[in-house]
Structure 1
């Protein structure tokens, strides 16, 4: 139902009014913020950068999104080959391991590495060398972030969807800020440097070198018990991040028919006639008290808040009683 006002004296006229509906709060809805992405350049199929992978660790709240890189514009192919080759060799031996927070900031990756990094031999003919290099080219950029659990006092965000005169509000589970992840640099650090020191003899078989990064035990002495507990909690959280497995999800482009169907199903109520009506738990006066500073009665500065309300209530009851007595006297 829409309403308009013809009065020009009203400085804040009512333009329109809508019936508001709250959708199911049990559905997880996440808002992803790309902090280094200009407005109007979405990661979607229309801009040639539809995400190729979406990963989530539900318990620890880690999120990663793989975005295609345009290798034809402002791209250093030599470094792309170097980083891509490092990722290929490292990930092929990690058995599902991860980098950064997802890997617990562990330099050794999964424990199955046994202290050594196995190097895959590239057996390709000279004619297929270009194809092998192209396969190792770094073609995706990983963005990552963490879902922050709600705390008391945090704002509640809603997603709004209009359908005619109805406004449907859907609660947001979390707002996740995504930052570029430097996994390619971590992978490059894991690749051992060969050929150091003495040169290999001609015809001598090249053997895998030991990984330079070794896991070490770090003992942290905190100044206070509170700091010690915080450090222990952080280490435990990193361990959980490393142990939890990724869950992969399919990314549906925003302009596809499937995406619009999901939008209709999870952002709007299909049968608004049978929904229950919300009832306010407080009256208007209590609402103003909650939203405003304590009210002070000029006649009684010592009376504020609840005492002031009780005083005004007695005054109103006295005024109503006096009016009733006057009317009775006039009738008599």
Structure 2
């Protein structure tokens, strides 16, 4: 008789090194058939990570030929440039990058959708303008808690299935560093014209942070301010982005997603038996004869009854 649920394939399962960091980035506003890669003309230019506070940023190029406002691109690009100058090559502000040090690419011309070139002159200070050509996507790594699901990356090689634990799933969203940079530009109030023309440094401003805890209605300023300071103090770690279709990427894939020496791997042993596994995965079982007994009590009673039946059989055989 044919089984209604036949086994069509079987695989040997191997677990790879869990000490390697593997992050899965989710682009919530990006269709899966249009990824950020070299083939689609939007290979990320930089990847930054603050491992202690869990901040992640990815720089992706902007297509300036389609649906791009050059005037706003010049305004925001120039704001980014001035903000970097005011901070000696550092921050775009508290909410705008936490000392990213990222730069907007500069150029003399930008090619528009109609094929025409737009000249990029100075912005009034005698300096060449900077066009905003990069968009920053950012997110934060959520610290895993007990009970959270454990995600795995699967790779097949023949009849072998290699599972690699995921360090974190990070949802990245567009960041508004260019808006923060524009807000940082000194307005020149209370300064002499000479100081304004010289491009004086930003004046100190008091930041009022109001964050409410999710558990109560009282502001939890102490912990949030400490976390904010940690985010600002920690330095970004910069990494080179390797496109998925390159030979180097495939070499890394082979090295970190699959075991190379399968013969030397130890055999995994289950810490629970089949019955315990079913108890953990299923709803509590109820004995119709003893409805008050569920779960552990029902199991103990069943084991007790099994012992009595074994003793009864032994007594019958002796007779």
State TM-score, norm by structure 2. 0.82
Runs of 4 or more, structure 1, over 3 Å off, are 98-104, 129-135, 208-214, 217-223, 225-229
CA 1:135/1:258 → structure 2, altered by over 3 Å: closer, same or farther? farther
CA 1:221/1:98 → structure 2, altered by over 3 Å: closer, same or farther? closer
- State the alpha-carbon separation in 2 of the partners of residues 174 and 286 from structure 1: 29
- State the alpha-carbon separation in 2 of the partners of residues 205 and 301 from structure 1: 85
CA 1:101/1:152 → structure 2, altered by over 3 Å: closer, same or farther? farther
**Among 169, 179, 194, the residue aligned to 2:173:** 179
Aligned-residue offset at 1:321: 2.4
In structure 2, the residue matched to 1:114 is none
Aligned-residue offset at 1:288: 1.4
- State the alpha-carbon separation in 1 of the partners of residues 210 and 22 from structure 2: 39
In structure 2, the residue matched to 1:261 is 251
After TM superposition, list the pairs within 5 Å mapping 1:240-255 onto structure 2: 240-255=230-245
Q: Identify unmatched segments of 5+ residues in structure 2.
A: 101-117, 123-127
Aligned-residue offset at 1:99: 3.8
1:231 aligns with 2:221: yes
Deviations 1:11-32 (A, max 9, x none): 2221111111100000000000
Give the structure with the larger helix fraction. 1
Deviations 1:52-90 (A, max 9, x none): 111111111111111011111111111111111111111
Give the greater-gyration-radius structure (CA): 1
RMSD: 3.1
Conserved in 2, the CA contact under 8 Å of 1:294 and 1:304? yes
1:154 aligns with 2:154: no
1:164 aligns with 2:158: yes
Conserved in 2, the CA contact under 8 Å of 1:101 and 1:242? no
State TM-score, norm by structure 1. 0.79
- State the alpha-carbon separation in 2 of the partners of residues 298 and 67 from structure 1: 62
Deviations 1:99-153 (A, max 9, x none): 454656xxxx89xxxxxxxxxxxxxxxxxx9465686111110101111111111
CA 1:252/1:209 → structure 2, altered by over 3 Å: closer, same or farther? closer
Deviations 1:161-191 (A, max 9, x none): 0000000000000011110011111111112
**Among 184, 188, 196, the residue aligned to 2:182:** 188
In structure 2, the residue matched to 1:326 is 316
